[in-house]
Amino acid sequence: MSHPTVSIVGAGLSGLVLGRCLKQRGIPCIIFDRDTAAAAASRYSYGITLYPWAYRPLLRYLDLNEASFQKTVAVDSYIGGVGRLSSHARPGLGEVDGFRANRRKLEKMLREGLDIRWEHALTEINTEDGSNSMVFGNGQKLQTSIVVGADGPHSQVRRAFTPNSNFTILPYAVYNGKCRVDPKTFEDKFTPHMSGANVIEHRIGQTLLQITIADRTENAVSISYTYSRPARGLADLGFTPERSAASASRIPDQLFDEVRSLGVLEAPFGEVFDAEKMRTDRLLNWLMRSISVDVTELNTGAGRGILLVGDAAHATPILGGDGANAAIKDGIDLAEYIVQNGTSDLAEFYRTKEEAWRSCVRDGEDRLAKMHGQAGAIFDASGEGPILIVPIGSQLDGIERVYEISARTTMEDPIHTRCVTRWTGSCSCWAASSAYRMTRMEAAE
Ligand SMILES: Cc1cc2nc3c(=O)[nH]c(=O)nc-3n(C[C@H](O)[C@H](O)[C@H](O)COP(=O)(O)OP(=O)(O)OC[C@H]3O[C@@H](n4cnc5c(N)ncnc54)[C@H](O)[C@@H]3O)c2cc1C
């Protein structure tokens, strides 16, 4: 079977895996990414948990055995480690068979031998007579019959056929910090308490403290840490669903007050969660976002030869989500689908993935709740339960309406969050999350 060249937008995990698998099966593909090659080589140095169900099927395409793969990409490969997780990485969730990979090292390995066109930020796709014209920010245009959007949660490819898909913002206040310690300090103050693990967690009530190793080198141990808890309503400065990407680095004093109020923490958490030290670290306020694109809309794109994979189709919250694993699996599965079936019925690919994608998002949200000691599912699809959906980004148009949205994080522990949103009149983007019931209690211009 002869195959048209597959144009992949995004040289992240799903795009690179798809590229590697297609190349290995002799199917031509080109990957376009908005970043420069230099930026790509120095980005994403953080740990991600990879599970065998996602990475084992990839090994034969990389021609590697499991031990070599782990030794190359593990966060602690510099000291000969294999990214040992921790029996407490997800308390009570019984998942201990994964390992911690450094995402930068993984992407470096995946990029080998691929045709990647850097500095190609896709801005639009126009479809005419069965052909797609991709337009890039650098002024270039390219005709192609098959486009795969592997361009992450803010996918530009997705906007080409479903401009109104919107994120669900989950009601959590989450901060991430990064710091480095020298190897001697690490040996003295961290190693005795970590039992060789690369992720440790400590929960105080519903507040979760997490320390993860991002990378180890001769001179430093890079640490990424998170402070997270359920949101506490409108006055909660830690939960800012409408904030712009640029204001993620604006950290309210409330965070430092909260950290101080935790008192003396057991080692090594006290080393990291020290309000004064944290002020000097690179801190970000993270939003816990998910998105599930409706299959009818996906099929509209498939009819034009445009497919989505990874976070572009089904983003899960950073904490609790398995987005990297799902992205890897998507890349492999799509390549195998194309090898077996060609590209004439792309919608059929979605039929093979639909249920898995839905549960990937649902499970991510559920795990996020459990990580914070919230016993039941965070959202109750039966209609009795909570919902918090806040339109953001491209939906903002300066028209102010006030909505009160009821949000309840567990059946036992209701919280109510008031949200002030600026948004055009229709509720169409809420429909994207129609699995959940939302109560619009009030609307005023
Ligand atoms: C700090 C952090 C920790 C995480 N930890 C885990 C974990 O432990 N386990 C887990 O499973 N997941 C984890 N994730 C999530 C995981 O990294 C993502 O789900 C995964 O990378 C999604 O892969 P993707 O290929 O869909 O998108 P991405 O990997 O985000 O790649 C998107 C690519 O598209 C490019 N791009 C974007 N827009 C354009 C455009 N317009 N034109 C051209 N190129 C474009 C980007 O430059 C990028 O290269 C974590 C995420 C973060 C941020």
pLDDT, tens digit, for every residue of 260-287? 999 999 999 999 999 999 999 999 999 9
Is the shortest distance between the CB of 107 and ligand 1 below 6 Å?
Answer: no
Is the shortest distance between the CB of 12 and ligand 1 below 6 Å?
Answer: yes
Residue 375 pLDDT: 59
Residue 242 pLDDT: 83
> Is the torsion defined by CA of 170, 174, 180, 183 positive or negative?
negative
Domain ranges of the chain: 6-73+95-167+291-371, 168-284, 393-444
Residue 240 pLDDT: 87
Is the shortest distance between the CB of 122 and ligand 1 below 6 Å?
Answer: yes
Q: Residue 232 has what DSSP assignment? A: -
Pairing of strands 221-230, 146-149: unpaired
Look at ligand 1, atom 27, and give the residue with the nearest C-alpha: 152
What is the per-residue DSSP string for 32-70? Answer: E-SS-HHHHHHS--SEEEE-HHHHHHHHHHHT--HHHHH
Q: Could you give the residue ranges of the DSSP H alpha helices within 239-294? A: 253-261, 269-272, 275-279
User: Could you tell me the CA-to-CA distances from 289 to 76, 134, 252, 392 in Å, in that order?
Assistant: 29, 28, 21, 11
Atom of ligand 1 nearest to the CA of 120: 43
Rounded distance, CA 280 to CA 172, Å? 24
Atom of ligand 1 nearest to the CA of 51: 11
pTM of structure: 0.87
Rounded distance, CA 420 to CA 444, Å? 10
Query: Residue 260: how many CB atoms within 10 A of its CB?
Result: 12
Contacts of 151 (CB under 8 A, 6+ apart): 9, 10, 12, 15, 34, 122, 157, 312
Is the shortest distance between the CB of 311 and ligand 1 below 6 Å?
Answer: yes
User: Could you tell me the CA-to-CA distances from 346 to 21, 301, 354 in Å, in that order?
Assistant: 17, 9, 13
Q: Which residue has the tokens 């909260």?
A: 258
CA of 319 to the centre of ligand 1 (A): 14
Is the shortest distance between the CB of 210 and ligand 1 below 6 Å?
Answer: no
Residue 422 pLDDT: 30
Is the shortest distance between the CB of 226 and ligand 1 below 6 Å?
Answer: no
Residue 436 pLDDT: 30
Q: Yes or no: say if 269 and 259 are a contact pair by the CB < 8 Å rule.
A: no
Q: Yes or no: say if 422 and 397 are a contact pair by the CB < 8 Å rule.
A: yes
Is the shortest distance between the CB of 318 and ligand 1 below 6 Å?
Answer: yes
Is the shortest distance between the CB of 324 and ligand 1 below 6 Å?
Answer: yes
> Is the torsion defined by CA of 203, 204, 205, 211 positive or negative?
negative
CA of 306 to the centre of ligand 1 (A): 19
Burial environment of residue 149 by CB neighbours within 10 A (0 to 12, 13 to 18, 19 or more): buried
Spans in the chain with pLDDT lower than 70:
1, 87-96, 234, 375-445
What are the pLDDT digits (tens) for 26-47? 999 999 999 999 999 999 999 9
Atom of ligand 1 nearest to the CA of 151: 34
Residue 91 pLDDT: 46
Q: Residue 339 has what DSSP assignment? A: H
- Tell which one of 30, 34, 50 to mutate to probe ligand 1, the residue whose CB is within 8 A of the most ligand atoms: 34
Contacts of 250 (CB under 8 A, 6+ apart): 243, 285
CB contact burial 229-255 (16+ within 10 A = b; e otherwise): bbbeeeebebbbbbeeeeebeebeeeb
Residue 386 pLDDT: 38
Provide the CATH number for the domain formed by 6-73+95-167+291-371 in this structure.
3.50.50.60
Is the shortest distance between the CB of 15 and ligand 1 below 6 Å?
Answer: yes
